[in-house]
């Protein structure tokens, strides 16, 4: 596991020359590959760049984009820009927090769902907006939150019990 991680980071480090100006692009690439920035990866990057690990850590913690904990299989980013805030973005965030039992910035213990807030995704005309696994959803209501979670949990149960035969008609995602 650790070796895999080391190899993945090393492969990214080979694509960039190690001047300080490339630190953000490298961190972005590593996060894109691993989903977050584990401490081992930050140390590896620091030694490649010839800077103390604390320098890499200070950059990683300064910018909102970087995650120090693993994300969920499904990542929800609730937009809390001005327009989304006025149109009920906080209510949407509350709904996710209540249903998932986690706070923003956290991941459910089974690592199925992660919840984040973002400052603005620039889709203000369609507020309130949630980015679901990189796809932007507009005009999200509390009932839509329940719908999203329901469909993902159905998908999960299908994934875990793939052998279960469906009862003929099949098809309906809300069945059973």
Q: What are phi and psi of 118, to 5 degrees?
A: -125, 155
Q: Which stretch binds another protein (CB under 8 A): 107-115, 140-148, 150-158, 160-168?
A: 140-148
In the bound complex, what is the minimum distance in angstroms from residue 51's beta carbon to another protein? 9
Residue 8 or 59 with smaller CB distance to another protein:
59
Half-sphere exposure of 16 (CA within 13 A, CB side): 20
Residue 42 or 95 with smaller CB distance to another protein:
95
Q: How far is CA 52 from the centre of its chain?
A: 28
Examine residue 85 and tell whether it contacts another protein (CB under 8 A).
yes
Residue 166 or 173 with smaller CB distance to another protein:
173
- Rounded Cα distance, 117 and 1, in Å: 30
- Rounded Cα distance, 166 and 176, in Å: 10
In the bound complex, what is the minimum distance in angstroms from residue 69's beta carbon to another protein? 16
Q: How far is CA 56 from the centre of its chain?
A: 21
Examine residue 175 and tell whether it contacts another protein (CB under 8 A).
no
In the bound complex, what is the minimum distance in angstroms from residue 44's beta carbon to another protein? 16
Among 13, 129, 148, 152, binds another protein (CB under 8 A): 129
In the bound complex, what is the minimum distance in angstroms from residue 41's beta carbon to another protein? 16
Binders of another protein among 9-68, rule CB under 8 A? 19-25, 27-28, 58-59, 62-66
Tallying the residues shown for the chain, one arrives at 176
What is the per-residue burial (b if ≥16 Cβ within 10 Å, else e) of 35-72? bbbbeebbebbbebbeeeeebbbebbeeeeebbeeebb
Are 51 and 62 spatial neighbours (Cβ–Cβ below 8 Å)?
no
Residue 74 or 95 with smaller CB distance to another protein:
95
Which chain residues interact with another protein by CB under 8 A? 19-25, 27-28, 58-59, 62-66, 80-88, 91, 94-95, 98-99, 118-127, 129, 134-138, 141-143, 145-146
């Amino acid at each position: 596991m650790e070796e895999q991680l080391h190899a993945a980071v090393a492969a990214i480090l080979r694509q960039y020359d190690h001047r300080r100006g490339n630190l953000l692009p490298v961190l972005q690439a590593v996060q894109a590959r691993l989903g977050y920035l584990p401490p081992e990866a930050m140390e590896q990057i620091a030694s490649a760049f010839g800077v103390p690990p604390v320098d890499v850590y200070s950059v990683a913690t300064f910018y909102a984009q970087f995650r120090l904990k693993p994300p969920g299989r499904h990542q929800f980013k609730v937009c809390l820009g001005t327009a989304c805030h006025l149109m009920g973005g906080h209510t949407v965030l509350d709904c996710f927090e209540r249903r998932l039992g986690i706070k923003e910035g956290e991941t459910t213990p089974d690592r199925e769902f992660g919840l984040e807030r973002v400052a603005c995704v620039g889709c203000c005309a369609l507020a309130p907006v949630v980015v679901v696994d990189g796809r932007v959803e507009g005009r999200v209501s509390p009932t839509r939150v329940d719908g999203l979670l329901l469909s993902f949990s159905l998908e999960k149960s299908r994934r875990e019990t793939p052998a279960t035969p469906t009862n003929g008609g099949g098809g309906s995602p809300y069945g059973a």
